[in-house]
Amino acid sequence: MSAWRWRRNTSALLVAGILALLFAGIDNAAAGRNREATLEPCRPTRADTILAWDDGDYGSIYNQVSGQLGMKLAVRFQAPPWAEYVTEIRYFIMDDQVEDPEDPNAPTTQPFAVRVWKPGPGVLPGEYGNAFQISGSLYPEEAWLELPLASPVNISDGGEYPDRTFFVGLEWGHAWNPVIGFDTDDPIDYCSFRWNWVAWEIVLADVMIRAVVSDSVTPVEASTWTTIKAMFR
Ligand SMILES: [Ca+2]
Ligand SMILES: [Ca+2]
């Protein structure tokens, strides 16, 4: 092989090599894009997933439940396997039929205790799962009340929350206030319960209390929570 031919062959090899690398790079970039594109639909939005049995419509003003001081209302949920925390509870607040004499349009709603329960015997509410928290008052009627938990509840421990089963709800601090809506349309899921001071009784409807679960936690601003707590001390 002459020196000239060797150089020419080497040059050709080099060019071929550079081209091969270039195309491999382009291929890899394309494969990367494809990987992302195919993965995207399998990656659900995991923060702020709302669990609900109710269909969002109470239908009739008679579809409501309330209780006396110390009575409780709970709804059972099972979170998806990826969910680590209960971060928020949502309550549909009905018209309490009470009027503020100064301003008939102003809400007259009363504070209640925000509750999360671990499952107990009979898959009814057992021990409390969250730190003590009060709802605040004068929140709007005929509307969803969205209450972030001051301390999100970790439900990933299967010993405490088997199959990520938990209950959310409230304990009444005032007689017959607040009033919570429920739906009676099919299907009824039979996951709603009321503590009548003696036992948990089933509510034959889908109580409009929902749970928000997440795979991560955004801390609630400490200052806001301190203010709320101080108001109800
Ligand atoms: Ca009212
Ligand atoms: Ca229903």
CA of 208 relative to ligand 2 center, distance in Å: 10
Contact in structure between 151 and 92 (CB atoms under 8 Å): no
State the ligand closest to the CA atom of 192: 2
Can you read off the two tokens belonging to residue 194?
Answer: 């009321």
Q: Is the pLDDT of residue 222 over 50?
A: no
**What was the pLDDT predicted at 38?**
45
Average pLDDT over residues 15-34: 46
Average pLDDT over residues 41-52: 69
CA of 142 relative to ligand 1 center, distance in Å: 9
CA of 66 relative to ligand 1 center, distance in Å: 14
**What was the pLDDT predicted at 70?**
97
CA of 76 relative to ligand 1 center, distance in Å: 28
State the ligand closest to the CA atom of 98: 1
Q: What pTM value is reported for the model?
A: 0.76
d(CA 34, CA 98) in angstroms, rounded, equals 59
Q: Where are the domains of the chain?
A: 3-42, 49-231
Sheet holding 72-78, edge to edge: 125-128, 112-119, 165-172, 72-78, 192-195, 200-202
Q: Band of the pLDDT at 229, cuts 50, 70, 90?
A: very low
**Residue 53, class by beta-carbon neighbours within 10 Å (0-12 exposed, 13-18 middle, 19+ buried)?**
buried
DSSP 3-state assignment of 39? helix
State the ligand closest to the CA atom of 57: 2
Q: Band of the pLDDT at 105, cuts 50, 70, 90?
A: very high
Phi-psi region at 100: left, alpha or beta (left = phi > 0; alpha = psi -120 to 50): beta
Q: Band of the pLDDT at 211, cuts 50, 70, 90?
A: very high
CA of 58 relative to ligand 2 center, distance in Å: 9
Q: Nearest to residue 72, comparing CAs of 229, 225, 209?
A: 209
Q: Is the pLDDT of residue 7 over 50?
A: yes
Q: Nearest to residue 67, comparing CAs of 174, 139, 142?
A: 174
